[in-house]
Amino acid sequence: MKIVVTIKQTFTTEAKIAVDGGAISDKGIKQIVNPYDEFAVEQAIKIKESGGAEEVVVLTIGPERAGEALRQCLAMGADAAFRVWDDSLAAPGAWDVYATVLAGALEKMKPWELLLAGWVAVDDNAAIVVQRAAETLGIPQVLVVNKLDVGDGKVTAVREMDGYREVVEAPLPALVTADKALNTPRYPTLPNIMKAKRKPLTVWTLEDIGVTAGSAGFTRTGLALPPAKTGAKIVEGEPEEAAVALADLLHTEAKVI
């Protein structure tokens, strides 16, 4: 069995975001593998280690820099990596376009039986691209999974909801997206970091995968940082007076009571 894991390179959630020319500035911002995708990679490697798969392949859409993220996955234990890129894809937030490209790449990578991914990317919170690609490919999808078993041509997945849990079965090939309780991703070991560069990393253009990207069905019209926090106001004076003053402010200024 072959498992494909789609990943995205994102900035760290601790990074201080700067907006430059209508886009998030990536200068000096540390880039990582989207943490939810790490759970997917870990799961794929685990399945392989337990004899449930022969090959784990990672796939991403991204510029050259995204190769670092792929390499981390190779160092964790993936066998091969693919990166698709075209400068026309640089426009941010064109999720429908990415989905088309991803579906094209996944079509070209066939045959594979299991498609894994993180359930959401922490940078844009969209949770749409790989799901839409799976729709295009016509395969079942089980989303936001906390426990996963693969065997006998099917996946059995557990989904945790507030107050109950659901067990879902789907025939392979299928897409499963990972939630954080699925596993604890391993660190790439030092020897595996050094070995990672000897593993194949293939770069595809849109032509290679036979896809015309087209243009997004929607346009981002604004991107702004949240307004800076204004300073807190401290009401001074004797407790009785201060309480009255505070209630007054809550009514007249904050307009919450």
Partner 1 sequence: MSEELVNHYKPDERDILFLLFEQFRIQDYLGKAPYDAFGEDDARMIINEAIKFTTREVGTLNSYVDREGCKHDPQAGTVTVPPLMKELQRKYEENGWHLLRAPEEWGGQDAPHAVSLAVSEFFSGACAAWAMYTGLTLGAARLIHTFGTEEQRALYCPRMYGGEWMGTMCLTEPAAGSEVGRNAATAVKNDDGTYKITGTKIFISGGDHDMTDNIIHLALARIEGAARGTKGLSLFIVPKMRINDDGSVGESNDVICRGIENKMGIKASATATLNFGDNEACTGYLLGSEEHKGISQMFQMMNEARIGTGMQALSQASSAYLNAVGYARERVQGKPFADIATGKRGDSVTIIHHEDIRRMLLEMKCKVEGMRALTLKLAAHGDRAAVAGEGSEAASKELGYVELLTPLVKAYLSDQGFRVSELAIQVYGGYGYIKDYPVEQYCRDIKIQSLYEGTNYIQSLDLVGRKLNQGGGALVRQLAEDITRLVKEHEADEVFGSDAKALGEALGHMTGTTMQFMKFFQEGQHQLIPLAATRFLEMMAEVTCAYLLLEGAVIAHEKMQELSETDRDYSFYAGKIHSARFFIRNILPGVKMKAEVIASRDKTAIDIADHHFPMVGAD
Sites for partner 1 among residues 71-130 (CB under 8 A)? 71-72, 75
For the bound state, the minimum distance from the C-beta of residue 77 to partner 1, rounded and expressed in Å, comes to: 13
- Part in contact with partner 1 (CB under 8 A); list of ranges 58-66, 78-86, 114-122, 183-191: 183-191
Residue 207 is encoded by which pair of tokens?
Answer: 């032509």
Instruction: List the structure tokens of 90.
Output: 């640089």
Binding flags for partner 1, 19-38, as an x/- string (CB under 8 A): xx----x-xxxx--------
| Beta carbons of 5 and 78 less than 8 angstroms apart | yes
Query: Residue 253, Cβ neighbours under 10 Å: how many?
Result: 9
User: Any contact of residue 2 with partner 1 (CB under 8 A)?
Assistant: no
**Triad 48, 203, 36: Cα angle to 5°:** 45
Question: Among 188, 206, 209, 211, which residue sits at the site for partner 1 (rule: CB under 8 A)?
Answer: 188
Reading the block at residue 197, the tokens are 């560069």
Identity at 247, one-letter amino acid code: A
Q: Work out which of 161, 190, 224, 228 binds partner 1, going by CB under 8 A.
A: 190
Dihedral sign from CA coordinates of 32, 35, 37, 41: positive
For the CB of residue 191, give the shortest distance to partner 1 in the complex, in Å.
Answer: 5
- Site residue total, partner 1 (CB under 8 A): 25
Q: What are phi and psi of 135, to 5 degrees?
A: -60, -45
Please say whether the dihedral angle defined by the alpha carbons of residues 59, 65, 69 and 72, taken in this order, is positive or negative: positive
| H helices present in the chain, as ranges | 35-49, 67-76, 95-109, 129-137, 190-196, 206-209, 239-252
The Cα 250–Cα 245 span in angstroms is 9
CB nearer to partner 1: give 167 or 245: 245
Binding to partner 1 by residue 18, rule CB under 8 A?
yes
Question: In this chain, which of 65, 197, 220, 251 binds partner 1, going by CB under 8 A?
Answer: 197
189 binds partner 1 (CB under 8 A): yes
Please identify which residue in 23, 181, 194, 203 interacts with partner 1, judged by CB under 8 A. Answer: 194
Cβ(35)–Cβ(118) below 8 Å: yes
Residue 202 binds partner 1, judged by CB under 8 A? no
- The region of 96-104, 188-196, 204-212, 240-248 touching partner 1 under the rule CB under 8 A is 188-196
CB of 189 to partner 1, least distance (A): 4
Question: Contact residues for partner 1 (CB under 8 A)?
Answer: 15-16, 18-20, 25, 27-30, 68, 71-72, 75, 187-194, 196-197, 231
